[in-house]
A and B are shown apart, each in its own frame.
Chain A
Amino acid sequence: MEITVIAEGNDGDLHPVTSQLVGASSRIGDSVTVLCPGGWGSAEAASIPGVSKVISIEGACFDTYDCRVWSKAISPLANGDLVVAAASPTGREICATIAATRSIPVLQDLTGLEEGIVATRPIFSGKAVEECSIALPCAISLRANAFEASQGEGMAEISTVNVDSDVSISVREALAKANERLDVSEANIVISGGRGMGDPGNFSHLYEIADEIGAAVGASRAAVDTWEEIPHSMQVGQTGKTVAPSLYIAVGISGAIQHLAGMRTSKYIVAINKDPDAPIFGVSDYGIVATWEEALPVLKEELCRLSN
């Protein structure tokens, strides 16, 4: 089976998810060709083991993201029995457009992939898991960090294709990042502080971490009631907001029933509290018995490392 992998870029370089795409592909197929739109990361892609060849697709049209134009440039080369992309916003869009071009079916955001092809993916925002068999040729996108990356060193040959596409989309202006922070009820990750933070000023540590990982900052009722500086809009709990993010990090929060009501259905809960008997440990998936003063700097460092 011939597999085409659409490399995922990251600020001009190769995004690490690409080696996961290759890893998943080489486990079920023999020949893996990696296409590098815009030419980004082609040298790195060539060094991923399991890659048969790399095609660097270059042209001015890659300066601005335009799904129609990019897909038009990539499609003629994406002719494997299986087309594999990352389930990022652009990855999904390109993957779906290539699939429509070739009149082949597409399935997005897979967390499992087996010969057949048998695809596993979460549906209903993760409330259920679906398993499908899908006939070749087809296109799929894979969820980041759900597949093992290809390990070791490879040495594939790189060829370059130049494309000269019309461009439709042009950027008028970059939009400044909204100054307002993400609202707790909307974020995928929430980090909340309680009265255990000691002082409202210490919430700055939470904000630093939140900015690092794109999280929202919340607070317990106790913190909101005690400190004027912590507004009610941040309150998570019975009379505050009910949140159900993928990850909820509770720092210096004991876990009184009213707070739990507000975050109990979070997918994963991490608790940091110096009191080993705090009720929050009863609902946390990962509980760390430590002071926030000691734990937060390490947390920030680890999260920084992960994103780089």
Chain B
Amino acid sequence: MVVGANAGCDSGPEKVERWATTENTTVKIDWDKVNEAYKQASGPQDLEKRINEIYEGDEVISIAVQDQDNKTQVVTGFFDKNTNGAVDEGEKIFTIKREPTAEGAAQIQTTGYGPYYGYHSPWLGIASGMLLGSMISNMFMPHYVPVYTTPYVTAPVRVSGIHSERSSFRASNPERFGPRSQSGRSYGKPTTTRTPTPTRPSSGGGFRRGGGSFGLARAGRKIRPERLTA
């Protein structure tokens, strides 16, 4: 685990660390980046994208955004394991709480749950003059009205799309995600060996039947085929 610059902010048992690692996996989250993502996000879906690009594990992090009162907002990150679009027991991994402190000023704090239990960021001050995304900066507008009194929650149907977008992002950033992430998963690693086909039982109760593979085993041939260019 890499201990960041904030490690000395608190020497108590729940000391603040920039990086945190799960109990059951080695997937780390850079909390500085998570906090920054919230500060820069233009809205919940932009925040989903930013957080999932930060997270280096296989799971997709869903988020719930709720305005608790006029300017207090809580963002919850969770693994929607049962794909019901709600934060259920054991799914929550962090919250980011934003609360006003004075006219034109607020503070945010991130807290870890589940595998990230024990992590607390310091309260981070924000003010109306800072470069902020509209998800936060809107609260400093004169006629601001909280819009997430009915919570926004990542819809289960969006999860696959977020996963695909993140795969594209990871493939485009092999210097960060290759050759092997902290989760043990390979990203962007050039390989000439055939990788195991991901298989899993049919989820529909029937037997899954195999079809074609779209690779050809031709290694070792002495003459390569002609390449058409026109």
Decide whether A and B assemble into one complex.
no
